Structure 1
Amino acid sequence: MSEIRFDGQVAIVTGAGGGLGRAHALALAARGAKVVVNDLGRAEAVVAEIRAAGGEAMASTASVSDRAAVAAMVAAVMDRWGRIDILINNAGILRDKSFAKTPPEAFEAVIDVHLRGAWTCSQAVWEIMRDQGYGRILMTTSSSGLYGNFGQANYSAAKLAQVGLMNTLAIEGEKHGIRVNALAPAATTQMTEALLPPGTAELLAPEKVSPGALFLVSGDAPTKTILTAGAGVFALARIEETPGIALGPEASPEDVAQAWNSLTAQAIDTPVRAAWAQTAKFIAMAGGGSAS
């Protein structure tokens, strides 16, 4: 297999002043990408690292949820390099508390950075990628969003919302050469170090996640895929659906209860491509037409 390279490509990595973002930025630069290091406080230090290693980089201190600041960042990148090929939505914060004790401002802050930030940055580069006929966008989801985690209701909601955003952008971007994926990392970062078991910091170094990130933004990347990664281990997470049981248009709650064991015993069916495909399946199973 040929080496994955990013020569001539321009990548924006948000939250790249440390942790996962820094690791992604350094790895992209090492493989030829020109990198925009976006971070509120430590962007210049990472830019200096990239330049010291012979790479090209520029710093941005734009807040990812500030539409005007993100637009200015994108304009500056286009003025300097004339294209944007890759966006890694990595910026994030934690405001952990149990659901009952989470104040509204802690919910809003997390949603603002993780979800609104991913939306704003993705929308800012979308037309550029569409006009180029090429683009790669990577969301950063989390096992907390996929499976839940005590004390992280706000974070979990924001992270799973990024999967929903990925799903639709992958569909809308397909004919324009834009592929959109999500990475669910397990890594020691400033955000997570207090949550991880002692002695695992080196094993869960952010650099061990970056190979998955780089593959998901490469030319041969899949689309609409969730890759989980940590400690050099990689796995796929999927949203899947069983074939289903047709109980009839007049089905009662008791009918659903009676069929429950049969439903839970079913093997997973093929993944549902989009919302309309599920509707078509239901219509076909109910005898109202074809799902094709």
Structure 2
Amino acid sequence: MGVLDGKVILITGGGNGIGRECALQAAAAGAKVVVNDLGGSVSGGDEGSVGPAQAVVDEIRAAGGQAVANSDSVTDFKAVQGMVEQAKDMFGGLHAIINPAGILRDGMFHKMSEADWDAVIDVHLRGAYNVTRASVELFREQQDGAYVLFTSTSGIIGNIGQANYAAAKMGVAGLSRIIAMEGALKNVRSNVIAPFAWTRMIATIPVKDEASAQRVERIRTRMRADQVATFAVSLCSASASHVTGQIFGVRGNEVVVFDQPRPVRSVSRIDGWTPETLIEHGLPALAGGFMGLEATAGVFTWDPV
């Protein structure tokens, strides 16, 4: 008996990296799987093919599982509706979606083109909207549905050169929160994961100095895609139906729950503020609650487990 027996799961970006591991582990846990992958490059600039998704399907079937391939783009709402219908036609339903599909178009913000901004927002944020909107009515009607969406510490904490990616991933976190709130009475759950794992996308990070080289090497050797997938699959289980609206991180064998923005300090003045009094008194009083500008590596300073 697996933790996903009887479940049907759609997994986007399922041909490589975290998506591939999610598909394999979901099938091993008893789920019937729709493996979606456009089959394109990390930058998303090519046409793609069904090959990567079909290879994962073949591997699942060889192990005795049930799966079907799909090579449509998550950026196309009608195509995503087709993925939902494919799950229903092939396997009789749909109970969860894991959505790690993504691309990168890194660059300093002052040099970023509209095309690179739009492409990343389209895949990550529009893609998350498409997979949730195309299925949420079904999930609400059957009062059973789980979303596992993907955010990033590039948004939650920050990372130089990834303004488009960070903006999209923070948007995904906000979307997930509202879906969880609105779906609570209908047993529709939504959580997000900020993954730390060696994938094709991480492999594109430029190594400019010894510190970044050591960081990339730690990711490559100690933080694997299958560790992220294990947690993603667990969130789709009925036994985790009480877990919703959360932001998690998976870093090797370490699972993190992140806080979400809440007031940490406030100041008030009974007769109101002026620019001068705010500069002299208000902002200095709030300064103890200010966040620094350190990137992810400056926050997660310890080695992964």
TM-score, length basis structure 2? 0.82
Deviation for aligned residue 1:190: 0.8
Deviation for aligned residue 1:250: 2.8
Quote the Cα distance in structure 2 between the aligned partners of 1:179 and 1:252: 45
Deviation for aligned residue 1:4: 6.7
Change (3 A) 1:237 1:36: same
1:113 is the counterpart of 2:123: yes
1:206 is the counterpart of 2:231: no
Q: After superposition, give the CA deviation of every residue in 1:259-289 in whole Å (9 maximum; x if it has no partner).
A: 334434479xxxxxxxxxxxxxxxxxxxxxx
Larger relative contact order (Cα-Cα within 8 Å, sequence gap ≥ 6): 2
Aligned equivalent of 2:286 = 263
1:46 is the counterpart of 2:56: yes
* Amino acid in structure 2 at the alignment position of 1:7: D
Pick which of 220-229 and 255-264 moved more. 255-264
Quote the Cα distance in structure 2 between the aligned partners of 1:146 and 1:50: 34
Structure 2 residue runs without a partner (length 5+)? 40-51, 206-214, 291-305
- Identity value in percent: 40
* Amino acid in structure 2 at the alignment position of 1:77: A
CA RMSD in angstroms, aligned pairs only: 1.9
Q: After superposition, give the CA deviation of every residue in 1:223-280 in whole Å (9 maximum; x if it has no partner).
A: 110001121111111123225344347333344441334434479xxxxxxxxxxxxx
Aligned equivalent of 2:178 = 168
Q: After superposition, give the CA deviation of every residue in 1:161-186 in whole Å (9 maximum; x if it has no partner).
A: 10110111111111110011000001
Deviation for aligned residue 1:77: 1.2
Aligned equivalent of 1:33 = 31
Quote the Cα distance in structure 2 between the aligned partners of 1:99 and 1:39: 29
Aligned equivalent of 1:251 = 273
> Superposition pairs for residues 1-292 of structure 1, below 5 Å?
5-41=3-39, 42-195=52-205, 197-198=216-217, 200-219=219-238, 220-221=240-241, 222-239=243-260, 240-242=262-264, 244-248=266-270, 250-257=272-279, 258-265=281-288
* Amino acid in structure 2 at the alignment position of 1:215: S
* Amino acid in structure 2 at the alignment position of 1:18: N
Q: Is the 8 A contact 1:11 1:87 kept in 2?
A: yes
TM-score, length basis structure 1? 0.85
Aligned-partner SS, 1:17:
coil
Quote the Cα distance in structure 2 between the aligned partners of 1:200 and 1:63: 28
Quote the Cα distance in structure 1 between the aligned partners of 2:109 and 2:102: 19
